[in-house]
Amino acid sequence: MQAVLIAIVVVAAVISRPIEVSLWRAGRLSNRTIALLLLGRFPLVVGLFALILGASPPIVIGLTVLALLPGALFYRVALNLLRDQALEARPRT
């Protein structure tokens, strides 16, 4: 049962990214929203894996907080990269 749940989490994380990117390119998602979705995927997957594997709540919380640190540190960098890509993709007049 654990293997099935882990497979579902991994497939959902992998399948959702192209959908999010296409929505962002179409202008349906803002730069901030897509940055949060991209950087928030890792802590969500870590937390779900810890829950699926049966870790105690303090360990789940600790692992999730540790997984949030890279996203918090690189949020501004990711946002600037997304803004640059959005500017490059904009048609020039």
**CA 38 to mean position of chain CA atoms:** 3
Provide the residue range defining the domain that includes 13.
2-89
pLDDT above 80: residue 42: yes
Indicate the pLDDT class of residue 13, thresholds 50, 70 and 90. confident
Instruction: Identify the burial level of 18 via C-beta atoms within 10 angstroms of its C-beta, where 0-12 means exposed, 13-18 middle and 19 or more buried.
Output: exposed
Let me know: does 38 contact 20? Beta carbons within 8 Å: yes
Mean pLDDT of 17-46: 91
Report the alpha-carbon distance of residue 13 to residue 48 in Å, rounded: 11
* Total structural domains within the chain: 1
Q: How many CB atoms lie within 10 A of CB 1?
A: 6
The chain-wide mean pLDDT, for the chain, equals 90
The model's pTM: 0.78
Indicate the pLDDT class of residue 93, thresholds 50, 70 and 90. low
Indicate the pLDDT class of residue 87, thresholds 50, 70 and 90. confident
